[in-house]
């Protein structure tokens, strides 16, 4: 996973949704995509945190 690319996607989705100009169906699609991206990013961050803690001997 390319963390920065996924964060960019999430940021782009947020920008689109903030306009308030999207039809409901498109908003729901983007919201669903944002939730999935958020889950993936959280898993990545949690994994990185665990690796750092392992390296630090915690």
**Residue pair 39/10 in contact by the 8 Å Cβ criterion:** no
Task: Inform me whether the pLDDT recorded for 21 exceeds 90.
Answer: yes
When pLDDT is cut at 50, 70 and 90, the band that residue 31 belongs to is very high
d(C-alpha 21, C-alpha 49), whole Å: 38
| Structural tokens at position 53 | 């803690």
pTM metric for this prediction: 0.84
pLDDT computed for residue 1 by the predictor: 78
d(C-alpha 17, C-alpha 13), whole Å: 6
pLDDT computed for residue 56 by the predictor: 93
């Amino acid at each position: 996973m390319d963390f920065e690319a996924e964060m960019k996607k999430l940021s782009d989705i947020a920008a689109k949704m903030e306009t308030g100009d999207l039809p409901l169906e498109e908003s729901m699609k983007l919201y669903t995509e944002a939730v999935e991206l958020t889950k993936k990013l959280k898993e990545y961050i949690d994994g990185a945190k665990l690796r750092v803690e392992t390296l630090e001997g915690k």
